[in-house]
Copies of this chain bind each other. A is one copy, B any other.
């Protein structure tokens, strides 16, 4: 069954987000998942494969969450704001996921290859920024640059909130989202 696999992945996510990769022994993952240590190796080749698989799944889930209610039929600004708010809301609702992603992506574990699934989801962002540039709404910069100008502050602010240094309420979200919109528009 996939039950155990899921339990293992969930325990790994929680533990790693709280304790870090190397302070999370396989034995602890086993205990937290309610399985034996040995069976983890039935589902994953080794610890690294487990973590990489977890990263892929969480990354994909995260990107998809950014695109909830997204439609290319909506105006650019609405699309932009929807993504922005989705990103922040999801990060606030599932803080372990964001923490895990940031930890992974800033660690030497990272492997810059992207899954086919991830590339596909990413295409929507690419299209958004491409279109904005073509319609001369956005500054003429590579999509990845526009992406970072748009969303790097969002992630940074969520971290500030989780660390207790900033109170992320609706007003702040609105204001910050608008600020990012201003950053990329002409």
Q: A: which residues have CB within 8 A of B? A: 18-23, 99, 102-103, 105-109, 112, 139, 141-142, 144-145, 148-149, 152-153, 155-157, 160, 163-166, 172, 175-176, 179-180, 182-185
Contact = CB atoms under 8 A, between A and B. Distances in A.
26 contacts: A19-B108, A20-B107, A21-B22, A23-B108, A99-B106, A105-B106, A106-B106, A112-B165, A139-B175, A139-B179, A141-B172, A141-B176, A144-B166, A145-B157, A145-B172, A145-B175, A148-B153, A148-B157, A149-B153, A149-B176, A149-B179, A149-B180, A152-B152, A152-B156, A153-B183, A182-B182
A145 B107 contact: no
Given A106-B103, A107-B103, A160 B148 contact: yes
Each complex incorporates copies of this chain amounting to 4
Contact of A108 (B20, B108, B160, B185): B20
Q: What are the 4 A-B residue pairs with the smallest beta carbon separation, nearest first?
A: A22-B22, A183-B183, A152-B156, A148-B156
Contacts of A23: 22, 108
B184 A179 contact: yes
A106 B98 CA distance: 10
A160 to B, nearest CB: 6
